[in-house]
Every structure is written in structure tokens, then in C-alpha cells.
Structure 1
Amino acid sequence: MNYENILTSIDNNITTITINRPTKLNALNKATIEELHHAFAAAAKDKQTKVIILTGTGEKAFVAGADIAEFANFSVEEGVQLAASGQEKLFNFVERLRVPVIAAVNGFALGGGLELAMACHIRVASDNAKMGLPEVSLGVIPGYGGTQRLPQLIGKGRAMEMIMTAGMVTAEEAYRTGLVNHVLAQADLMEFCTGIAQKMMKNSPMAIGMAINAVNANFKEGENGFDTEIKSFGKCFGTNDFKEGTTAFLEKRKAVFSGE
């Protein structure tokens, strides 16, 4: 598929997806969300892809929010559909992927941009990055999961403050509160994310996928995360990766995982 708003590449089993709307500070619109959904789905199905890195073009913005002009005149029903469709096609979709996704936050991550980063499994920020959910300053609330994922990551009180003040936090503040895992100079950002990806790729893709599902289960209403962990743990015993991992350990060699 030819994309207009994103770029994709794969190198050494790492697929990089880059949001490429520099004149709009990589803002999300419907077309970009559709393209991102397609790119993530394609990468997840590609057996060559072991890790996905998501970033934005340029040095100013990861994603500077949603494209406000696109929905400024929406009705109540259209607003509901906008949030529901976006969450299902992209934000929830990314969170549920069995392939690990690293957000390389290379600048502003505001509104939908921060919500997208929070849907990824790991966040790494450049030292010039600033993050926030400014929606209440526009008379609306975060609609792509921000009111749910931000408290999970930094706690209810801090999340309430960020959302209600519509303020931005620096990369260092984001690191202190657990919103991002690491902060790097922008020049080192992608190399560092690649290093994390390479560490992940030494391990079982099957086990990583099950671990993602088990961690997510703790935050799903009506689902017992401990039960999911127990069942997933048991399923691992029936995989080729388990047989290879345990055999390699006993034979004192490095495991070569097939992801099956």
C-alpha cells in the first residue's frame, strides 16, 4: 500500500513507522489513523518484524495532536463515532498487538499524540519533548483513551492535574512520573530505541506476545489478570519456543526462537 501520511521501513527485523506530516506537526487526521492501522496490522502479520518503533518526522513533533479543523463542526453523534472508531482502529489496536511497540517521542506529543504514545508498550523521549492533554482548553476531553491510560501510568492525582490544567510536562518530568521510560538527546533517540528492540529480539516472540496480553489484562474491566497470567503461563509449555528455550538453557547455548 502506498501511504501519503506515513513512512515505513524494516531493517534487521525492526519495522519503523514514521508519521510524516511535518507541515501539520504530524497531527492525526482520519486518513493518517487509517494508514497507521494498516501499517501496524501489516507489520504484525509480517514474520520478519520482531519489534515496531513508532516516531514522527522532523525534530519538533512526534504528534502535536489531532487535526482540529477536521472535527470542529461535528455533532454529538459524530463526536462519539470519531472517538469510538479511532480507539478501535488505532489506539486499542496498538495496545493489543502481540509485537512490542516502542514510541520514540521526538518532540511535542500533545492530545492524540500523547494518547498514541501511551497506547504503545514502551515510551522513550528526546530531551526536547513536551507532553500534555490540552483538550479541555478546547471545550472537549481526551477521546482516544487519555483519561484511562494516563492515570494507569502516572497515578490518578497527577493525571487529573495534567488533564484539568491542560498543561504540558517536560521530558524530565515525564520520566520522573513514569510516563516515559528513558530520556535521551534527540540525536541518540532512535539508536537507543533500536538497542531496546535488539534486547527484546533475543527473547521468545511467543512469550513476549503472551506477556503483553497478560499485563494488559490487569487493566481490563471484568478480567482477572492473575487468571490470564496463569493460563498464558500454561500455554507457553505447548510452544516450540518453550522447548527451544529450555533445551538451550540445559545445553548451555543461546536459544534460537521461531516464534511458534
Structure 2
Amino acid sequence: MGKGRTTIEVGADGVALITIINPPVNSLSFDVLRSLKESYDQALRRDDVKAIVVTDEYDMKLTPYVIGAGAKGKFSGGFDISGFSGVQEGKAEQSGGAISIEILTDTVEAARKPSVAAIEGLALGGGLEVAMACHARISTPTAQLGLPELQLGILPGFGGMPI
């Protein structure tokens, strides 16, 4: 099992905070994608959850008023391309399997509970597409949003961009 994961915490206010944890840039490995889908589904099933915030690890001491702002400062650097080697070699199932990207973004987009991506630092490629699938986005002034795959002539294919 990989090191990437998400956590979910539900506050007394009914807001579920889903945190992406996969240092150093919170890349979206297959483990993170699966965990993100499971956390999101859990939040949707819970009656005490009224809204969902997707973010990176943060430090409330630094910026207590902007969820997502903090020491880690990387919402997501995008898809973990090292996962492609497992797919090419036929080992993806052994290393945690693959999750359909469209299933994740379709789940977020179709949710009846509002979701917000709280972005600090990097939100690149697939990370930006996950943020765009949320109903709303909030970012710090220094956030860097982008689709670097366009520089390589590759279309964004994570499922968050209409193409």
C-alpha cells in the first residue's frame, strides 16, 4: 500500500474537511484517488455533513481564517505519473489498482452537498481539475493554478475539464 491518503474530519458545524496527504507535492496517486473517493462518499452518506471542503494539510496557527492555508502549501501537484509504470507493466492491481478518474470527478460534480476546494500553493494538472470539479474554490493570493500538460501538447484528461 502506498503512503498517499486522505483524512476526513467533521466539525460541529457540519462541515466535512477532507485533507489530501501525499508529500511532498500531494500528488494524486492511485491510493490518494481511491481514498479521496471513499472520503467523499462517506461525507455524502453522513446525515450530519452539510458541506465538504477539500484541502491539503494545513496549520491553523498560521492562517486560522482560511482553511487550507498552511505550512504544507500544496493543494495538489497533479497526477502521480509514477503510477503509469505500474499500469504499463500490468502491476497496477497489485499496487492498489486503478480508479476511474471520471468516477471521482463525476461524484464531486453531482453531489447534492456543496463542496469547496481550499487551495494554497500548487493546484496543477489533475489537482486543478479536482478543484474545478468542486462547486466552488477559494485560494490564497499566492496560489499557483495551472495545467502544465498543455505545454507538452497533452490535453487535460483527468475528467475535470470539458473537452
Instruction: Give me the TM-score of the superposition, normalised by structure 1.
Output: 0.49
Alignment of 1:81-160 (within 5 A): 85-88=100-103, 90-138=104-152, 140-148=154-162
Offset, 1:96: 0.4
1:56-83 per-position Cα deviation (integer Å, ceiling 9, x unaligned): 12432101111011115756xxxxxx7x
Partner of 2:6: 6
Q: Structure 2: which amino acid aligns with 1:112?
A: G
Q: Structure 2: which amino acid aligns with 1:107?
A: G
Instruction: Give the Cα–Cα distance (whole angstroms) in 1 for the partners of residues 20 and 161 of structure 2.
Output: 23
Partner of 2:48: 48
Supply the RMSD in Å over aligned alpha carbons: 2.2
Q: Please say if residues 66 and 113 of structure 1, whose CA atoms lie closer than 8 Å, have aligned partners that are also in contact.
A: yes
Instruction: Give the Cα–Cα distance (whole angstroms) in 2 for the partners of residues 146 and 16 of structure 1.
Output: 21
Q: Please say if residues 133 and 146 of structure 1, whose CA atoms lie closer than 8 Å, have aligned partners that are also in contact.
A: no
Higher fraction of strand = 2
- Percent sequence identity is 36
Q: Structure 2: which amino acid aligns with 1:118?
A: M
Q: Aligned residues, how many?
A: 138
Q: Counterpart of 2:150 in 1: which secondary structure?
A: helix
1:31-54 per-position Cα deviation (integer Å, ceiling 9, x unaligned): 111111111111111000001111
1:208-260 per-position Cα deviation (integer Å, ceiling 9, x unaligned): xxxxxxxxxxxxxxxxxxxxxxxxxxxxxxxxxxxxxxxxxxxxxxxxxxxxx
Q: Structure 1: which amino acid aligns with 2:20?
A: I
Instruction: Give me the TM-score of the superposition, normalised by structure 2.
Output: 0.77
Q: Give the number of the structure with larger relative contact order, counting CA–CA contacts within 8 Å between residues 6 or more apart.
A: 2
Partner of 1:68: 81
Higher fraction of helix = 1
Between Structure 1 and Structure 2, whose CA radius of gyration is higher?
A: 1
Q: Counterpart of 2:35 in 1: which secondary structure?
A: helix
Gaps of 5+ in 1: 76-81, 150-260
